[in-house]
Structures are given as structure tokens and as C-alpha cells.
Amino acid sequence: MRIRYSILIAEILCYGFMASAAMASKKVIVTQKDKSILKQEFDKFSNQRDLSVGALMLRIGLDFVGTPYWPNTLRTSSSHLEGCERRWNLATKRFIGTDGVLTGVEVVQVEWIRENGRMIMKEIPETIEVIEADLVLLSMGFLSPSHKGLLDELGVEYDERGNVKSIDNATNLDKIFVGGDATRGASLVVWAIRSGRDAAKRIHKYVMDK
């Protein structure tokens, strides 16, 4: 993969560079000294518009290639500055209220653990608390398609992440096809479009073969 040299240098100088050794699967980090060498090389070859990652590494004597790992960045917007408390790793257990009026939210602290190839949330004992609230705004992510109902009733198989298992958009059941996030997991809309087209082609082929 070729990327713009100047962008690559900026990324390396700002974030550092983690990569896998070319011949060994060992991760290394570019040191401050290496960054200085990169900066010197950038100045020396600043007239070059493009340079592959591998060529750049070999040019300065580093025997590895790879891709930058982006750091987790805590961003603060003007809304945050107006006053709020941000808390992470909390799971909502139930809403509390009286006569249909919300008064609080019962939450529990959780930790993420890897189990059977997928990340799951595990409650931390004795961390339940109630946060007073009269308004709750739901902003929900996507972990996997809902199994209860249609999918379980059909009897489709799931992969280790809880998505519908498929091969070329075909499930384990005859005449049942799947596409998009239901089989791929949470992803970009462009992948949903591509998956929909692939599923349509697969269904067309199935029908024509019959």
C-alpha cells in the first residue's frame, strides 16, 4: 500500500509507530532516535511525493514494515466544557420511576473480557448504584443481530461473535440468505451496500440454478 510520504511522516512523528517485524511476528516501537532519523529522511527526500512504508523503513535501516496503530484519544467538545461528568464501563440494569415518571437509573460497573473469540461485558460484583435522572437519552451501539424471535425460530447458525454464520451470503438453511451487519458485524454503510449486492447475486444464482 502506498501512502503520501508527508502524511506518513506526520503520523509517525505524532503517534509513534508500532509494526510487526518482517520475518518475525514480534511487535516493536519506533524510538525517539528512530523518529529523529525519520525526520532527517523526510527533509532529505521532501521532494518525493510518495513512498511506500516498506521503502521508507528500509531506507533508514529498519528491517520491519507495518501500519500505524491509532491511539485512543479523549476528545472534549464545547458541550463537555459546559459541564458534565463522563463515565465509562457502566451497564444499565433498569430504569426506576414512580407513576410513569423517571427518577433514576440503576447501573453496574462492567469489564470487557475475551470469551470464545469475542469480547463480552462482565459485571463487576458489588458495584451497583443508582444515578438520579429525570431524562435519559439512548445512544446504543451494535453488538450482534437479535437472536430472539426470527433468527432463533428459523434455526440459523451463529459465529463466535453472535452474527449469522454464512458462506457467500448463504446460511446453513436452504433458501435463507443473509447480508450486511447481520453476518459481517457492525461496519460501514458501503459494506452494507456491497453485501446487499452480493446477496442479490447469490439469490439470483440460486434461483437460476433451480
Sign of CA dihedral 148, 149, 155, 161: negative
Q: Which pLDDT does position 44 carry in this prediction?
A: 57
Q: Which of 164, 97, 158, 167 is nearest to 132 (CA)?
A: 97
pLDDT in tens, 23-69: 333 344 555 665 566 556 555 554 444 444 445 554 545 444 444 55
Residue 133 in grid coordinates? 435522572
| DSSP line for 136-160 | --------S---TTHHHHHT--B-T
Q: Which pLDDT does position 9 carry in this prediction?
A: 42
The span from the CA of 49 to the CA of 3, in Å, is 9
SS3 content of the chain, % helix, strand, coil (to 5): 30, 25, 45
Q: Which of 35, 27, 31, 28 is nearest to 11 (CA)?
A: 35
Residue 22 in grid coordinates? 518482517
Note the helical H segments in the chain: 5-15, 32-44, 53-59, 78-81, 150-154, 181-184, 189-209
Burial label for 109, CB within 10 Å (0-12, 13-18, 19+), is middle
Q: Which pLDDT does position 140 carry in this prediction?
A: 72
Q: Which of 62, 54, 71 is nearest to 16 (CA)?
A: 71
Q: Using 70 as the pLDDT threshold, list the residues of the chain that sit under it.
A: 1-71
Which residue shows C-alpha cell 442479490? 200
Break the chain into its structural domains and give their ranges. 2-65, 86-132, 150-209
